[in-house]
Amino acid sequence: MKLENIKTVGVVGAGVMGLGIAQVCAMAGYKTLLFDLNGEAVTQAFGQIKKNLEKGIEKGKVTEAQKEKALGNLQKVEELRNLQADLIIEAVVEKLEVKHQLFQQLEENNSPDTILASNTSSIPITRIGAKLNRPGQLVGVHFFNPAHIMKLVEIVAGAATTTDVLTTAKAFAEKLGKTAIVARDAPGFIVNRVARHFYVESLLLAEEGVADVETTDKLLEVSGFKMGPFRLMDLIGVETNFSVTTSMYEAFWQAQKFRPSRIQQQKVDAGFWGRKSGKGFYNYE
């Protein structure tokens, strides 16, 4: 599949990442199909995309014509079996078994030429593609949150990913207006491997009582970070961040430097997932 042959893009998962990916694809002129097991989540995602575009208009970064064109490119898909596209990007939970099942279904329902892409932030692409009949068609295309704003995209080839698929995925990301870098297939790739300690060490400070959440955030923000680790975890989703840390901890054979935090585990168990739930490390209610 060459870049010029990609006309329709599918996105699986209508959460924060999925809707952002769908937005940038639609703005780039692609017919964009969005699916989620929760149909209402897709409706809500379309509403949020519209708000994002209107905010872009207010800032002078989006025109009314671009907004209308992007919204016109979006289409809801009711059943996964009906999701057929030239390139499909998954943005679902960081659980290997879920991704295995999803990609097996997508592979069965789509053309042998369809490129299957994972937005995983921590699971090696080779492991995700291990149960596919055509693992060469699978590639990592990892966006950063919020996907409609952040410029960086990591492109990752698994052991079986073909050179053509990797090249097309990189060109696709660049057509979306992103800065695409090719990373090796290792847990966390580049950014999340480095950034994990931004979160893990900050959580350790809280566990040991060295500094509270607000103090750590303020110190890092005045040091040049746009957002402290706890505010950022609330934005990303505390449960999502915890899932990525857990995945990397297991992938690196329980290396202590990646150990998940008991404080974060407690937040997840309590349903305090950050902004999306109204409460995380901070209260948004």
* CB atoms closer than 10 angstroms to residue 270: 12
Cα distances (Å, whole numbers) of residue 48 to 37, 42, 51, 65, 168: 18, 10, 5, 18, 29
Cα–Cα dist 198/251, whole Å: 18
DSSP state of 95: -
Contact present, 140 and 185 (Cβ < 8 Å): yes
Q: Is the peptide bond before 229 cis (omega within 30 degrees of 0)?
A: no
pLDDT digits (tens, 9 = 90+) for 134-156: 999 999 999 998 899 999 999 99
Active site residue 148: no
Domains, the chain, with CATH or none: 3-183 (3.40.50.720), 192-276 (1.10.1040.50)
Q: Which of 100, 142, 148, 197 is catalytic?
A: 142
- Give the residue ranges of DSSP H helices in 90-145: 96-109, 125-128
For residue 251, give the nearest of 146, 68, 96 by alpha carbon: 96
Helix pair angle (238-251, 262-270), 10° resolution: 130
pLDDT digits (tens, 9 = 90+) for 27-37: 999 999 999 99
For residue 199, pLDDT over 90 is answered with yes
Q: CA nearest 176: which of 11, 13, 22, 18?
A: 22
- State the pLDDT confidence band at 236, using cuts at 50, 70 and 90: confident
User: Can you give the pLDDT at residue 1?
Assistant: 86
Q: What is the pLDDT of residue 224?
A: 95
pTM of the model: 0.90
